[in-house]
Structure 1
Amino acid sequence: KKKEKGLTSREVKGTVKFGGGSLMVWGCIWWNGYVAILEGGLLQSMEDSGIPADEVIFQQDNDPKHASRRAQ
């Protein structure tokens, strides 16, 4: 967008401050992303946050990416 042109109502959306609404976010992750989180990030994030790994019970549901042979 050129600097000379201002923003139109199509490009700007209003916001509501201090309540009055909700936000839902949908996400998707494949088995390889799930495995990468477990291998590379989960324990490090817990350590960085001061959460002792021996005091955590890791639970997951039967989602296909959790139950795949690669994730086991």
Structure 2
Amino acid sequence: MPVSRSISCFLKAIHMKKRLAWANAHKDWTKDDWRRMVFSDETKVNVWGSDGVKYYWKRPDDKLRFHHLDLTVKGGGGSVMMWGCITYDGPGYACHIYDGTMKKEDHVHILDTTLMDTLNYYNYDPKTIYFQQDNDPKHTSKVKKSLV
């Protein structure tokens, strides 16, 4: 069966060092420490199909069959950008990013509403959580830093 190669971002030496340092800094964390961690990220969800490469098996002399086709819709079907978070106790609330691109003001609004709703749902104290994000510039803006 043919298998496509996985695509991975190249990690520079500095990235590897930072990841190892983060892992070493947290290796002795207790269950209670991890209970206070909240991870978040955005993602694109396709309404129809995948962006990835798809394969199928077919002998050279076989006719094209229905299951060999990759059915699509006109315009590609579109996609939706979403933000979400996950806690030790379960998934957080998710929200739709309306124009498909999150700006720093959108991120601040999401933290004020969706993240806080999640923390309230799990009875987390916002002052005691560890909030993990990917250091995208919109996540580290001065506007957002004033809230955290």
TM-score (norm 2): 0.28
Higher relative contact order (CA 8 A, sep 6+): 1
Structure with the higher fraction of residues in strand conformation = 2
